[in-house]
Amino acid sequence: MEKTPKNIFLIGMMGSWKSSVGRLLAIELEMELIDTDDAIEEMTEMKISEIFSELWEAKFRDMESAFFIEKSIQTGYVFSTGGGIVLSKENRNALQNNGTSILLKANPKILANRLKNTQKRPLLSNSKELETRLTLIWNERQTLYESSAHVTVDTDDLESVDVVQKILEQRDRF
């Protein structure tokens, strides 16, 4: 009998392509995809930006964590997580123990370039200096990302499809 695959968690900063890589990876591995931001938007019938402005960030983090922890107990999913998933200790435990966590890394200059036209990231709104803001967030979270990751993929010069290939090349590790 075929073994149910372990979960794969894509973690990393906003703009690290977790969502697009997750979609492609789930197709390649014939696994089901869970995008935590999309799931929360569906459940609440609100955009993430509305949740931040109307219910505040702390409420978003509670919903994100409750949803993530419940789902991550199951197996066989590719998760595209929100960039702040590593902020909670319970989430980090789930990332460590309930599957393989893959950190998609990119330097803040490249992230800023990828995100320059985005309207949907509340943590970046009003940020003229996108690269500086992303550097600050990266500096705050770097240790959390790195200590949660089983595998790290550098995405700086890559397109999403290349990132998927790089992940698949390391398939024996997870």
What are the residues binding ligand S3P (CB under 6 A)? Answer: 14, 18-19, 37, 48, 82-84, 121-123
- Name which of 76 and 122 has its Cβ closer to ligand S3P: 122
- Name which of 91 and 100 has its Cβ closer to ligand S3P: 91
Q: Say whether 6 sits in a helix, a strand or coil.
A: coil
The least CB distance from residue 173 to ligand S3P, in Å, is 23
The least CB distance from residue 122 to ligand S3P, in Å, is 5
Strand partners, 7: 99
For the chain, the straight-line distance linking the first and the last C-alpha, in angstroms and rounded, comes to: 19
Residue count (the chain):
174
The least CB distance from residue 135 to ligand S3P, in Å, is 14
161 near 24, Cβ under 8 Å? yes
Question: What is the DSSP track for 67-90?
Answer: HHHHHHTSSSEEEE--TTGGGSHH
- Name which of 89 and 173 has its Cβ closer to ligand S3P: 89
- Name which of 31 and 134 has its Cβ closer to ligand S3P: 134
The least CB distance from residue 4 to ligand S3P, in Å, is 26
Question: Helices 130-148 & 89-97, crossing angle to 10 degrees?
Answer: 50
CA 153, 93, 36, 64 torsion: positive or negative?
negative
The least CB distance from residue 121 to ligand S3P, in Å, is 5
